[in-house]
Amino acid sequence: MSTETKPSYSPGLAGVVAGETAICWVDPNAGLMYRGYDIHEMAKQANFEEVAYLLLNGELPNAQQLIDFGKQIAAERALPEPVLEMIRLLPKTMHPMDVLRTGVSMLAGFDSDLNDHSHDANVRKAIRLIARVSSLITDAWRISQDQELIADDNTLTHAGNFLYKLTGKKPETWQIRMLDTIFILYADHEFNASTFAARVTASTLADMYAACTSACGTLKGPLHGGANEESMKMLDEIKTPENAEKWMMDALAKKAKIMGFGHRVYKEGDSRVPIMREIARDYGKRIGKENWVPICEKLESTMEREKGLCANVDLYAAPVFTMFGFPSELNTPIFAVSRVAGWCAHVTEQHDHNRLIRPRSLYVGPAERPYPGMSSNGAK
């Protein structure tokens, strides 16, 4: 007979503080800080490497440290040949997030630091993972399209090299600036689902690749990272600002979940939306595709009026990625190019101060009852 009193319970762990972190703070009132620095100040000036260094090391790099960090990432970009061979064996129709998860898992076998969970070894692995997640996405996409692989251009930043390796074209300076800003916005978000999955895995003293494999699997879901792919399907269906309100009203009448809206923590708006909206507006002006922002704005005002819910960053990331020319299956993997920095910082922090993450569940099954014995189930 159970003697345990019923513990308190919060479905979906809403509002539960599951750990401490010095990496990132999400302010429910539309704020976001990385190690004390407001992303609104960093987003337009910093580059991704500077933010990744900050997340991993706790402080901003000086000029020389930033150059060295960029070189360290560049030196780790090439994928081992067996990993490329494995990618060539995968079905061409496999979703890029599944390819990424498989690739991250396989890369574990090529890292001699794999089972060393010391701080320094974790930072070395983080640099390799940041470099190679980007290559896994660009190379696997080109393989799936029967295109030749493009050699890295290490004179470009991480964002610039990503664009170049994916498309084979040298990106414009303004495109690199925009992608750096997007990578900065996506780099970390405290205990979001994929980062939490990574931390749970790391808390068993499993390695960083195991943790990032868990994180990739978790990021794929449409309630998390997968929302930026689903948002694009929605915007493609709506097509014009004139259709947006009716589309939203019909979807709400069917009690549908609208992708790119709502957030577990932000209730006064997602801190990243104003910056992403501006990028969408700017890109649209530059290439003469100014329809996307008015569609999103109409959806925003309708959702605000009907349900009091705000847009999240994925609503505006979707058209931005489309304007970059990315196929929408790559929207979530592109999120991972950046978020891997956050995952690795959190795994390092978890290993540095580890305690196994093992919550309880609330039992809601049948009350205790006598076992009738094997014969009663007709097995004899």
Question: Which parts of the chain are beta strand (E)?
Answer: 24-27, 31-34, 37-38
CA atoms lying within 13 Å on the CB side of residue 208: 34
For CA atoms 32, 248, 336, 343, the dihedral sign is: positive
Please indicate whether residue 314 is annotated as part of the active site: yes
- What are the φ and ψ backbone dihedral angles of 311, each rounded to 5 degrees? -70, 155
Catalytic residue among 152, 314, 346, 351: 314
Minimum gap (Å) between residue 358 Cβ and ligand COA: 23
Minimum gap (Å) between residue 297 Cβ and ligand COA: 17
Using alpha carbons, list the distances in angstroms from residue 229 to 79, 145, 239, 297: 26, 19, 16, 18
Q: For Cα atoms 15, 20, 26, give the angle at the middle one, nearest 5 degrees.
A: 55
Minimum gap (Å) between residue 338 Cβ and ligand COA: 14
Residue 53 or residue 335: which is nearer to ligand COA going by CB? 335
Residue 171 or residue 260: which is nearer to ligand COA going by CB? 260
Using alpha carbons, list the distances in angstroms from residue 134 to 81, 177, 371: 16, 17, 55
Query: What is d(CA 6, CA 232) in angstroms, rounded to the nearest whole number?
Result: 44
Minimum gap (Å) between residue 41 Cβ and ligand COA: 22
Residue 206 or residue 234: which is nearer to ligand COA going by CB? 234
| Contacting positions for ligand COA (CB under 6 A) | 12, 14, 223-224, 227, 257-264, 307, 309, 312, 314
Catalytic residue among 158, 189, 263, 346: 263
Minimum gap (Å) between residue 233 Cβ and ligand COA: 12
Which residues, 6 or more positions from 325, have their beta carbon under 8 angstroms from its beta carbon? 167
Which residues, 6 or more positions from 345, have their beta carbon under 8 angstroms from its beta carbon? 23, 55, 56, 126, 188
Which residues, 6 or more positions from 220, have their beta carbon under 8 angstroms from its beta carbon? 95, 97, 98, 101, 226, 332
Residue 164 or residue 292: which is nearer to ligand COA going by CB? 292
Minimum gap (Å) between residue 314 Cβ and ligand COA: 5
Query: What is d(CA 55, CA 344) in angstroms, rounded to the nearest whole number?
Result: 9
Closest alpha carbon to 143 in 202, 102, 197, 196: 102
Q: Residue with CB nearest ligand COA?
A: 262
Residue type, 54: L
Residue 40 or residue 286: which is nearer to ligand COA going by CB? 40
**Helices 208-219 and 96-107, interaxial angle, to 10°?**
170
Please indicate whether residue 158 is annotated as part of the active site: no
Residue 266 or residue 283: which is nearer to ligand COA going by CB? 266
- Active site amino acids: 263, 314
